[in-house]
Amino acid sequence: MASPRALLARVQRLEQARIAPRSPFVAAYGSFDAFAAETQAGIDAGQFDSREMPVILNCIRRWHDDGVWGLWHRDRIWEMVR
């Protein structure tokens, strides 16, 4: 029979695995809204296309909100495309 300490360590590892990882936008900018604000400033400055970039930003926002950014690491879905 496993010791209580070993069982607690296993439970802790399982709980850590269930925690969703931070998105790359939160890691890089602090929040997705900060990324969106910086992107909007780039649109206003003419750095990004004013017709296409808002659409791309909305796609990225949905990707971020749905948490899809972590799937390719976890489930390796990109390997299924080949």
Query: pLDDT tens digits, the chain, 82 residues: what are they?
Result: 678 898 888 888 888 777 666 788 888 899 999 999 999 999 999 999 999 999 999 999 998 888 777 666 555 555 544 4
Q: Which residue ranges make up each domain of the chain?
A: 22-78
How many Cβ atoms from other residues are within 10 Å of residue 45's Cβ? Answer: 8
At residue 11, the pLDDT reads: 85
- Least Cα distance to 37 among 65, 23, 63, 57 occurs for 57
Let me know: does 5 contact 37? Beta carbons within 8 Å: no
pTM for this predicted structure: 0.62
At residue 26, the pLDDT reads: 85
